[in-house]
Structures are given as structure tokens and as C-alpha cells.
Structure 1
Amino acid sequence: MNTKTITQFPIPNFFDRAKVGEVWRVPYQDRAVQAETWAKQQRILPAAKDKTRICLMAIDVQNTFCIPNYELFVGGRSGMGAVDDNIRLCEFIYRNLGVITEIAPTMDTHTAMQIFHPTFWINDNGEHPIPIATIITLDDVKQGKWKVNPAVSYSLARGNYMAIQRHALHYVQKLSDNGKYPLIIWCYHSMLGGIGHALVSAVEEAMFFHNLVRHSQTNFEIKGGNPLTENYSVLRPEVMDGSDGRPIAQKNARFIQKLLEFDAVIIAGQAKSHCVAWTIDDLLSEIMAQDPKLAKKVYLLEDCTSPVVVPGVVDFTPQADAAFQRFADAGMHLIKSTDPIQNWISI
């Protein structure tokens, strides 16, 4: 391991830990002026000069998942998981401004009529499934317990109800065949154009500051807009073909290749049990197909991610921990944001 000393920079005075769990307007122009001054004071070079290229992928660090009382707040077992995770994530970015080459936040992006939202489904009583409490299985669709809501066929299938109903059966069949989680009905979340879709203000501020200090454009990756499939992973949707065998979506080959070209990829975000685990799993599959040794360039910030826990309803902590152990067994590194970066990446 390279023992070269890497400067850990101080946390800028404008960062306020107490505001990480709140939504507010980032003062862009003020931060832009401060970023230019900060780069000069701390003698931080542009990212283009990095000899070791490091990408920080921040998965779905959005209000909908990270702000208490928002739609799908990821509290973890502590009840404040995502907020605490984002405090550590912001501080990690600020301390390591000089070595993080690029930040790639993923953005879960949805509209109302999607296969995992209540309005997509209906039962014989005209009722929609209850969010989070409802799991739709293959048997449920085969037996007609849940059917596609005929009203959505106008927008999603050009009025062809039978085609979208065939897709629904095909979809849950594929989930079952591929060993995926069964279809969970989620409450409306990450709605395009809504406040919940936006990045957490404190994290957005840290990324904006990094962008201007390092002269490295933040690389936003959008996922989840296809109404006919879930997209937990930014790298590929859960199901990529329709009932007729034709493709309805494709894996994000461009982003996969870009990630693997970095010398190191650091991953954080929400939720550890779902979008984070699914993305890492897809990245690992690509790595195994290309070169298993590439797993060693992936670092998982375990203290900057939390699993889905709904007290008294569901706790995905064991599944999340098992997934991360599997990633570690494959060669990926489980690390903490407070560890000096030179302890785990050769700079």
C-alpha cells in the first residue's frame, strides 16, 4: 500500500450538521465564490491532474429517502439512518476534496403510473394495493387477486389493456424466475418535478462545492423512469423484455464502462438493502464477466448507507448485511468514511 501522506482538508465553515435533515435552498453564487477561494487557500489542483482517478457514486441521496417524514425515509434501525449517513457523506466529500476526481449521484426518477405504484393495480372491489404493506406475487396475478388497472392502459399501452395485462403476468414471472425480490408496491416517491426528487440540500451543496473546487462536472445518472419495470439499480432495470420477447429497456452500458475505467469507485447512498445493493450486485456481475480482479477497485462506505426498516412491518437489515458480506467475499472493500483515504486506496 502506498503510504504517501494525503491531506485531509478541514470542513468548510458553512457546513451545518444540524441542517442535513432539512430542505433548503443552496446559495450557489456564494458557494461558487467560496469554492474558488478555497481551492487557492488549500492548494487543491483541478481533477484533470489526478494521477489516481477516484469516483464517488452516491446512490439516490434524495429527499424522498433521506428527509424524515418524506415518502420513503430510510431510517434504518436507529430511526435516523439516512440523516446520519449524509452527515458523514458530506464530511467525507469535504475532507477528501483533493482526491475525489468525480462525483456521480444517481437520481431515482418516477411518475405516478408505474408498475410499483398503487394506481397501476386494482382488485375486484376496485381497490388499489396498500403501499409497502402489499407484495404482489406470481400467484396473485395468475389468480386475479390483483389485475392491472384498466384506466392506466390509455397512457401506458395506447389503450391495449390485454397487452399490459400480459406484461404484468410476464413481469412477476420474470422476477420469480430470476430470484429477485417479489413486486413491492411502494408509495408514490421520487416524483419527477417534486421536492422529494431533489438531492438532499446539504449533499447537493457539497457536490456543487466539489464541482467548482475541482473543476469536475457532477455526473448525474437518472434511473427509474420506465413505467413497466422497477429500476432499483442504476446499471440495469429489473426486467428488460416484454411478454413478446422484445426489449423494453437496456442496461446502462455506458455508465458501467465509465465506472470500471476509474482507478477506484467509492459507493454510498440509500437504501443499503435495495438500490445500493442492487447497483453493487449488477456492477459485480459486470466485473465477474470482464475480470474478477476489478472488484478490488470498489470501496463501500458502510457508514454512509442504511437498510429499509419499517418498525413492526419489515426489516431488511439481515439481507443488506448478507449482500455486503458477499460483495466483500468477492474482493470489494468495506470501509468507513472516517478512515484516512490513503489507508485503503493507493494514491
Structure 2
Amino acid sequence: MIIDPQNDFCDIPKNKYQTPTLPISGSNNDMERLGKFIYFNINIISEMTITLDSHFSMDIAHTCFWKRGDNDLEPFSKITSDEIIKGNITPKTKYNKKQIINYFEYIEESEKEGLTIWPVHCEIGTWGSNINNYVQAPRNIWEEINSKKANVILKGLDPLREQFSALSKDNRKNKKCINNKLIKYLDKYDILLIAGESSSHCVKRTMEDLIYNSSRKDPHSIMLLTDCMSPVNGYEKNTKDFLLHMESLGVTITNSTEVMSILK
């Protein structure tokens, strides 16, 4: 399962044709290692699931959705329902303000924090939403050689809800809905390898949804490839705590080199 291996998250050298909007340090090298791993195991990998962050520009977690005074909100701001109620921060859109406040109050209760506001990223139809070529090229070869298609899952399509994990989403009634169909699909396979970006957010949330809702009897058969994922800059501790927690639950913490001996 490859989580959000998209250009906007990769620290690809910038030029006038390609500028990642939310680059994660080390992520381009992560994708290169992951691509090589797929090449080397082209006949061993039986299935491939890829999740893709997929947003509209006007998204509740994007800077351009909000204004502070006359200005757009700064990237990486964290805002709360109280700030919206007081009018310190206001949505630019004509969406129901009460509904937005209710959503903020819901996530503050469930997650004990406000909403982080990101630069516009993985906008549908843009270069940044595309799969990094280090992964896309071997994916194409894997599909051709095995006469299969990767299972591609889009997430983040609701402009009024944040969605880090493809295994769950919050509906408009502020209820968390688990994607049990996808979890059941992932449970079929004897070994499940997890890679992608970012380890501090989307990988973390996906793994939490998986481990707490899976019927898999042996958590050791879920393996995190730590050299094929990196944290959002400034969230390194989140990743460290996440990996320790997963290890305590029995998940195998490994990398793309070590896992080769397991697959053989």
C-alpha cells in the first residue's frame, strides 16, 4: 500500500515547470528507494494499492479558503472554532458558517487540537497531484508484467472536511465513517507493506485506522518501510512516537532492504 506518493509532497528540484507546494525533506529519495524496491520485486508483489490526496483549490484545510483581516491565512497556521466565532479568521466562501464551526468543534473534541492549514496542494488535475515518476514508472511495469491494475483510491475530495486517511472520513454530520471494504481487501494478503508520505500525517492516520479496525490476526505481517517515508518538516517527533506505538502493537518496523530477506 503506497500512501500519497505525489509530486507536491516530494522535494524535487524546482524549476519553472514543476514546483512542489508542500515538499517533505528526503521524500524524493524515499520514492526512489520505493521505486527500486518495486522493480526488484516485480514478480513477488501480488497487489498494489495507491492512495492519492485529491483536493480542490478551495478546501477547508488550504490557505486560500480563509482570511485574517484582508490577507490569506499563513501556511501551517492552526486555527480553532473560537477564532472563527470571534471573527478573527473568516472563510472566504459562501458555505454555511455554522456548519464550519460545528466541524471545528467536532475535531477539537475528537482530536484535541485545531485544524492545520496547508498550502494549496495536490489540486486535482495539476502536476503536483501526479504520482512521482520514481513510483509511477515501476508501477506501469508491474501492471504490464502481471496483467493487473493498481487499486487507486482518491481521498480529500470533500472541500469541507480534512481527510488524512483513505480508510476513514468524516461525513457532513460529523461522524467518522470507516472504509471497512478497503480494510477487508487489505486483510486478504499474508504480508502488507506500507510506504509513502508523510509518516507524520497520512501514513500515521492510515495505519491507526487499519490497526484498530483490521481483523488480521498477526500484526507482525503489517510492515512499515521506514526508508520509504518521511515526516512533514517540524513533525519529526510525531513520526518517532507513531513508530514506537506501532511497534508496541506488534507492527513490524523495517525498511526496503531488510524486508527483502523476509519476502524470500
Tell me, yes or no, whether TM beats 0.5.
yes
2:161 alignment partner, one of 229, 241, 265: 229
- Which position in structure 2 is the counterpart of 1:240? 171
The 5-angstrom pairing of residues 54-203 of structure 1 reads 57-68=1-12, 69=14, 70-75=20-25, 81-123=26-68, 125-132=69-76, 134-149=77-92, 152-153=93-94, 157=95, 164-179=96-111, 181-203=113-135
Gaps of 5+ in 1: 1-56, 76-80, 158-163, 310-314
Deviation digits for residues 273-313 of structure 1, max 9, x if unmatched? 011111111111212xx46x34222100011000011xxxx
**Structure 1 counterpart SS, 2:200:** coil
Report if the CA contact (8 A) 2:64-2:120 is conserved.
no
Letter in structure 1 aligned against 2:55: H
- Which position in structure 1 is the counterpart of 2:195? 268
Query: What is the root-mean-square deviation in Å for CA atoms of aligned residues?
Result: 1.8
CA distance in 2, matches of 1:175, 1:301: 29
CA distance in 2, matches of 1:335, 1:265: 12
Deviation digits for residues 170-194 of structure 1, max 9, x if unmatched? 1111111112552111111101011
**Structure 1 counterpart SS, 2:75:** coil
**Structure 2 counterpart SS, 1:281:** helix
2:208 counterpart of 1:281 = yes
- Number of equivalences: 258
Report if the CA contact (8 A) 1:61-1:200 is conserved.
yes
CA distance in 2, matches of 1:118, 1:86: 27
* CA-CA distance at 1:137 after TM superposition: 1.7
4+ aligned runs moved over 6 Å, structure 1: none
* CA-CA distance at 1:103 after TM superposition: 1.2
2:241 alignment partner, one of 322, 342, 346: 322
TM-score by length of 2: 0.91
- Which position in structure 2 is the counterpart of 1:29? none
**Percent same amino acid among aligned pairs?**
28
* CA-CA distance at 1:115 after TM superposition: 0.6
Q: Based on CA coordinates, which of the two structures has the bigger radius of gyration?
A: 1
**Structure 2 counterpart SS, 1:230:** coil
Report if the CA contact (8 A) 1:115-1:227 is conserved.
yes
- Which position in structure 2 is the counterpart of 1:301? 225
Gaps of 5+ in 2: 15-19
TM-score by length of 1: 0.70
Letter in structure 2 aligned against 1:131: P
CA distance in 1, matches of 2:65, 2:27: 29
Greater shift after overlay, 213-222 or 329-338? 213-222
* CA-CA distance at 1:224 after TM superposition: 0.7
**Structure 1 counterpart SS, 2:253:** strand
